Amino acid sequence: MSDGNQCLTDIAEHLIMANNERVLGYAVDYDARELTIRVEQQGRRLAMRFTGLVAHHFNHAGIRNVIYDIAAVPLDEFIDTERKWLSRTLRYGFPVTVRGGLDSLRHSLSEQGCQVFDIRASVGLCGFVIAQRLIIEQEV
């Protein structure tokens, strides 16, 4: 892609090498449906933009966060693994407001073309982002 942007299909190599990226910060723009995580790895600054944002959930967010890995997880696997937790949170409209439980959630996210990005940390911030796309851009 031009402008140094990479879409998910182009970033497999980057994600494999994503070990120990220091998190500089993250921001959510709900109107634009976008979450951006700014990171630094070996002096290089990157912006990881999750577009078509549906929801995110982070644990252990602190000042010294280090991302170890970001992995695209199949939607069915995510829902099956988090079945108990999602059944509780759906009652409060998270990650989306649907009637009909987990099957409706699966259908809704699938129709929107969503993916689940699992964020793992060696220190601090971990969780997931549900969005349509991940774009990685080098910051200037």
- Span 80-130, pLDDT tens digits: 999 999 999 998 999 988 888 999 999 999 999 999 999 988 777 889 999
Q: State whether residue 50 is helix, strand or coil.
A: strand
Structural domain of 31:
2-138
5 pLDDT tier (thresholds 50, 70, 90): very low
Mean pLDDT, to the nearest integer, of 21-38?
A: 95
Domain tally for the chain?
1
Which secondary-structure segment (H or E) carries 11? none
* Phi, psi torsion values for 68, nearest 5 degrees: -90, -40
Does 8 have pLDDT greater than 60? no
The stretch 14-30 carries a mean pLDDT of: 77
Yes or no: say if 21 and 40 are a contact pair by the CB < 8 Å rule.
yes
Answer with the residue of higher pLDDT: 81 or 4. 81
pLDDT of residue 41: 85
pTM, two decimal places: 0.83
